[in-house]
């Protein structure tokens, strides 16, 4: 259940000001630079005076400059069993502003919005328009009504990279007794205006230039200007909700979403109690219950009921042996309750890009559910949707971010595990033998921990062809190698993954007359150099640190000698450290060692080129060769 609401978040719809000059000429060159599309004018009007019926009108004029920008037109509206699309239409103009096509509601396609879900009551009414020429201009108009006022789309005047905005405005009409709260973010440096009257909030912006995608930048949610908006009192599928603060919000979730879904058959209760009968600690019991859940159930996504937020009954999960993240987490929690182990149903943004629940803004947030088990002053986090993830391991999908724990006392903000640089290790040990023809036989052992474990522990579940492709991609700089034997060991107790391989590599050593040039770093060459970015605007962001250690023992053929060894090289920067060296253990054996540490961190844009130079130097040093000279009699 990795992305339930991320797509909706980027959807932020809008309505537009009245205007008649629907032409590309009305857009300045400044707004067209780096842009695939330009919002010429938009106005979104939201009415939440009645929390039982939230109304929204959208009027948007957008210029699509090229094929990449087609999706930016967003010619659709979502709805479900508790909402409807009253009206929707699209008018298309050519670059000169001449109308060329017009589409009414009857021309739109109505389809289920299942996505990754096996079932969902969400639907989408959309138009698939195929342009005949670029650029073109689209006028999109819609009107919707919803019985849910728990979700007010956040205002993102810029919805992504390579989009610019001439004018955009969001108006929210409200009941003064239930004034929406709002949290502006990333507005510095943008021409954004926020004003209010006793019954209306107004957010507007002019002339937002496109933001380029720049590699190694912070999360887009920390870059795009936006305003998050919510009501303290709201309705969700007919259920009244409130959340002036996280404590109150969590109390509402407990009572309205979680209190009536914890029933289990007596047989299952007896079984799990027997399962943990010999365990004397909460951790021992929790490990047994977690394994029981992994053995019994599987994950599927189901988005029905109260906004996709209420778990299905624990008894239904027990009977059907499947569920989504809400259902499986709740099922695990109920089983733990039965054996006396406390745990907390926890809301999180699941994404490999770190994304926090807003600590100072209580509202419906998140797209995933995990479980927290208190362990003295720490929390052990469980990913309940996986049949393979080790106990207490969450990986980079939910690590190092603020989350919302639902406790008996209400909601509390907590922070998930941080995998420190020194925990994310990969230790490679290889033995390499070169024959007189320059061919190589090698054994390779790699031990991975921390987040580097996350990259590999599912390898044993893959087909052999996929495993072969994994290594061909990993060692794409080695031509023609063949893997003779593979053995994996996944130690889930210690969270350590070990790879053991035997390989043949024909013609690896490069002939130079009767001699050979040989690169000892066979299995961990850095091939990546970040692209050049002129006039970089965003900070350099390194989300996770890691440590790689490589040791290669090279046995050279008889009648060959080593013609000198490169000196040890050490590079130290704020981004990390690199160390590489050679030593000769005997007449026919050379030891190559390599250690690299990359530090997690965020740095000003000016440091990007220095980071790029660091990785480029590593890429060059990783190709260091030694000369093997043949002894001529």
- How far is CA 281 from its chain centroid? 34
pLDDT at residue 15, rounded to an integer: 36
256, 234 Cβ separation under 8 angstroms: no
Model pLDDT for residues 102-116, shown as the tens digit of each residue:
999 999 999 986 644
Model pLDDT for residues 355-405, shown as the tens digit of each residue:
999 999 999 999 999 999 999 889 999 999 999 999 999 999 999 999 999
Task: Tell me how many domains the chain contains.
Answer: 3
Range of the domain at 220: 6-229
The stretches in the chain having pLDDT less than 50 are 1-19, 115-118, 304-305
Report the first-to-last Cα separation within the chain, whole angstroms. 69
Asked whether residue 130 falls in the same domain as residue 196, the answer is: yes
Question: What secondary structure does DSSP assign to 136-153, as a single string?
Answer: EEEEEEEEEEES--S-EE
Percentages helix, strand, coil for the chain (3-state, rounded to 5) are 20, 40, 40
Q: Is residue 237 part of a domain?
A: no
Asked whether residue 266 falls in the same domain as residue 141, the answer is: no
pTM above 0.85, yes or no: yes
Q: What is the CATH number of the domain that holds 434?
A: 2.60.120.1130
Closest to 123 (Cα-Cα) out of 84, 78, 85: 78
Asked whether residue 378 falls in the same domain as residue 283, the answer is: yes
To the nearest 10 degrees (0 to 180), the angle between helices 266-275 and 282-296 is 130
Q: Is 320 exposed, middle or buried (0-12, 13-18, 19+ CB in 10 A)?
A: middle
**Most distant pair of Cα atoms in the chain: their distance:** 99
Q: Last residue of some domain: 415, 446, 468? A: 415
Q: Is residue 313 part of a domain?
A: yes
Query: CA 237 to CA 147: how far, in whole Å?
Result: 7
Asked whether residue 368 falls in the same domain as residue 448, the answer is: no
Q: What is the CATH number of the domain that holds 103?
A: 2.60.40.3140
Q: Is 459 exposed, middle or buried (0-12, 13-18, 19+ CB in 10 A)?
A: middle
Q: Is residue 238 part of a domain?
A: no
623, 519 Cβ separation under 8 angstroms: yes
Asked whether residue 510 falls in the same domain as residue 539, the answer is: yes
pLDDT at residue 633, rounded to an integer: 61
412, 247 Cβ separation under 8 angstroms: yes
Closest to 381 (Cα-Cα) out of 366, 390, 393: 393
Asked whether residue 346 falls in the same domain as residue 258, the answer is: yes
Q: Last residue of some domain: 229, 262, 285? A: 229
Q: State the CB neighbour count (10 A cutoff) for residue 295.
A: 9
pLDDT at residue 23, rounded to an integer: 86
46, 172 Cβ separation under 8 angstroms: yes
Model pLDDT for residues 454-480, shown as the tens digit of each residue:
999 999 999 999 999 999 999 999 999
Q: Last residue of some domain: 360, 395, 415? A: 415
Q: Which residues are CB-contacts of 429 (< 8 A; sequence separation ≥ 6)?
A: 444, 445, 446, 550, 551, 552
Q: Which residues are CB-contacts of 620 (< 8 A; sequence separation ≥ 6)?
A: none
Q: State the CB neighbour count (10 A cutoff) for residue 519.
A: 17
Radius of gyration of the chain (CA): 29
Asked whether residue 397 falls in the same domain as residue 297, the answer is: yes
Asked whether residue 53 falls in the same domain as residue 82, the answer is: yes
């Amino acid at each position: 259940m990795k992305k339930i609401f991320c797509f909706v978040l980027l959807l932020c719809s809008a309505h537009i000001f009245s205007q008649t000059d629907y032409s590309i000429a009305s857009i300045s060159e400044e707004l067209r630079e780096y842009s695939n599309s330009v919002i010429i004018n938009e106005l979104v009007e939201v009415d939440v005076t009645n929390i039982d019926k939230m109304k929204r009108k959208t009027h948007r004029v957008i210029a699509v400059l090229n094929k990449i920008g087609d999706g930016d037109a967003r010619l659709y509206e979502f709805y479900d069993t508790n909402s409807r699309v009253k009206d929707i239409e699209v008018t298309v103009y050519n670059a000169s502003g001449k109308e060329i096509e017009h589409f009414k509601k009857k021309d739109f396609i109505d389809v289920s919005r299942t996505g990754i879900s096996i079932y969902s009551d969400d639907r989408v009414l959309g138009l698939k328009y195929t342009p005949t020429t670029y650029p073109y201009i689209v006028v999109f108009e819609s009107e919707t009504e919803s019985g849910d006022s728990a979700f007010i789309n956040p205002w993102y005047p810029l919805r992504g990279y390579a989009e610019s905005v001439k004018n955009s405005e969001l108006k929210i009409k409200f009941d003064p007794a239930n004034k929406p709260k709002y949290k502006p973010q990333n507005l510095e440096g943008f021409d954004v205006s926020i004003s209010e009257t006793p019954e209306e909030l107004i957010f507007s912006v002019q002339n937002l230039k496109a933001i380029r995608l720049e590699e190694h930048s912070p999360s887009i949610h920390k870059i795009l200007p936006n305003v998050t908006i919510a009501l303290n009192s709201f309705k969700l599928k007919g259920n009244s909700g409130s959340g002036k603060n996280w404590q109150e919000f969590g109390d509402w979730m407990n009572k309205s979403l979680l209190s009536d879904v914890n029933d289990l058959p007596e047989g299952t209760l007896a079984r799990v109690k027997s399962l943990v009968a010999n365990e004397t600690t909460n951790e021992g019991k929790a490990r047994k219950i977690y394994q029981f859940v992994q053995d019994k159930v599987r994950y599927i996504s189901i988005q029905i009921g109260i906004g996709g937020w209420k778990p299905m009954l624990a008894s239904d999960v027990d009977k059907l042996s499947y569920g989504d993240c809400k259902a499986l987490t709740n099922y695990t929690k109920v089983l733990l309750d039965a054996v006396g182990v406390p745990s907390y149903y926890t809301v999180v943004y699941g994404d490999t890009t770190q994304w926090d629940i807003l600590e100072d803004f209580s509202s419906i947030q998140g797209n995933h559910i995990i479980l927290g088990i208190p362990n003295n002053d720490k929390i052990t986090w469980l990913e309940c949707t996986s049949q393979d993830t080790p106990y207490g391991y969450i990986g980079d999908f939910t690590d190092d971010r603020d989350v919302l724990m639902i406790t008996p006392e209400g909601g509390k903000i907590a922070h998930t595990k941080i995998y420190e640089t020194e925990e994310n290790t990969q230790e490679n040990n290889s033995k390499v033998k070169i024959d007189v023809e320059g061919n190589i036989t090698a054994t390779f052992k790699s031990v991975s921990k921390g987040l580097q474990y996350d990259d590999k522990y599912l390898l044993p579940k893959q087909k052999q062809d996929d495993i072969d492709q994994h290594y061909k991609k990993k060692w794409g700089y080695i031509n023609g190698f063949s893997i003779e034997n593979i053995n994996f060991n996944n130690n889930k107790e210690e969270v350590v993954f070990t790879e053991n391989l035997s390989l043949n590599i024909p013609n690896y050593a490069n002939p130079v007359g009767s001699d050979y040039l040989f690169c000892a770093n066979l299995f961990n060459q850095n091939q990546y150099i970040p692209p050049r970015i002129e006039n970089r605007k965003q900070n350099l962001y390194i989300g996770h640190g890691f440590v790689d250690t490589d040791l290669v023992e090279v046995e050279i053929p008889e009648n060959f000698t080593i013609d000198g060894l490169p000196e040890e090289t050490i590079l130290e920067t704020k981004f990390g450290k690199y160390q590489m060296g050679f030593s000769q253990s005997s007449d026919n054996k050379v030891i190559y060692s390599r250690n690299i540490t990359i530090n997690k961190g965020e740095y000003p844009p000016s440091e990007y080129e220095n980071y790029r130079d660091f990785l480029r130097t590593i890429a060059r040093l990783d190709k260091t060769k030694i000369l093997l000279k043949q002894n001529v009699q």
